[in-house]
Amino acid sequence: TPGIRPLVAGNWKMNGTSASLNELRAITHGFMHGLDADTEALVCVPATLVFRAAEIAASTPVRIGGEDCHAKESGAHTGDVSAEMLKDAGASHVIVGHSERRTDHGEDDAAVRAKAEAAWRAGLVAVICIGETRAERESGATLDILSRQIEGSVPASATPANAVIAYEPVWAIGTGLTPTVADVAEAHAHIRARLLERLGADAGKMRILYGGSVKPSNAVELLAIDNVDGALVGGASLKAADFLGIAEAYQ
Ligand code: PEP
């Protein structure tokens, strides 16, 4: 989208130990040497790695994010991590509402909205995920589902500076399947229109990422689609060569 700086974001999910930080080092190296300086890079890592990842990425163009946060700042929530803790560990972003959180932990739109607000309270950018299931796609409900998720998950105070939207068809995540170019274009145009309606003209500058089986071989095609302002990359973000190969789509 004209006037929008693209964002290539990785999501390591529940993968990665100390040894994986070498991949992160290679990713920072790639973004410092040779990749288009206009492309922003983000790697969202498990909470256990945020602190060390942020040290590695400090003074490189790569930003570090968490993969989820609790809505509260602190308290009796054993095992949970707050947005403030992620910020303190060096994160600048946090993913909220990933379909795996919605499925594994029963997070609904209201919970996701509360997490986005928690991210802002802590000074993090929220990467808010939405997307239809296979059954919803097959029944023709995709655009309605996206409207409902935007209404429910995206707080009215979202701005291009504090929020990124990620469109991730659930059936395309980790499956190797991707929607057609026409289907991605339709979904992203719909999301843009709903955001403009909900948030006003500023939403014309909000980044809408595509996520779901993005890899180097399909990145050029997917990232060239209207209203696709970057990618959220799961599996292919674990290997520096693949993640950098996707970012090269912007060269
Ligand atoms: C994701 O987890 O956000 C994702 C898009 O995964 P993958 O790229 O592996 O499909």
- Within-domain flag for 51: yes
Cα separation, 93 vs 31, whole angstroms: 18
**Domain range enclosing 154:** 7-91+107-250
Mutate to test the pocket of ligand 1, among 233, 238, 242, 246 (most ligand atoms within 8 A of CB): 233
Cα separation, 145 vs 147, whole angstroms: 5
Is the C-beta atom of 231 inside 6 A of ligand 1?
no
- Within-domain flag for 31: yes
Ligand 1 atom nearest to 172, measured from its CA? 10
Output the CA 75–ligand 1 centroid distance in Å. Answer: 31
CATH number at residue 31: 3.20.20.70
- The token pair at 25 is 């080092």
How many domains, in total, are found in the chain? 1
Residues carrying an active site annotation = 98, 168
Ligand 1 atom nearest to 166, measured from its CA? 3
- The token pair at 109 is 């739109």
Closest to 173 (Cα-Cα) out of 6, 4, 13: 13
Cα separation, 171 vs 159, whole angstroms: 28
Cα separation, 160 vs 166, whole angstroms: 13
What's the confidence (pLDDT) of residue 37? Answer: 72
Residues 41/77, Cβ–Cβ less than 8 Å? no
Which residue's entry shows tokens 């796609």?
137
- Within-domain flag for 99: no
- Within-domain flag for 152: yes
Cα separation, 45 vs 64, whole angstroms: 7
Output the CA 67–ligand 1 centroid distance in Å. Answer: 12
ipTM of this complex prediction, to 2 decimal places: 0.97
Which residue's entry shows tokens 């946060």?
69
- The token pair at 196 is 């403009």
Is the C-beta atom of 230 inside 6 A of ligand 1?
no
What is the mean pLDDT of each successive set of 10 residues along the chain, which is 251 residues long? Answer: 93 97 96 82 98 96 97 98 98 98 97 98 98 97 98 98 98 96 98 97 97 97 97 98 95 81
What's the confidence (pLDDT) of residue 251? Answer: 81
Is the C-beta atom of 237 inside 6 A of ligand 1?
no
What's the confidence (pLDDT) of residue 2? Answer: 83
What's the confidence (pLDDT) of residue 128? Answer: 98
- Per-residue CA distances from 35 to 9, 206, 210, 243, 244 (Å): 14, 23, 20, 12, 8
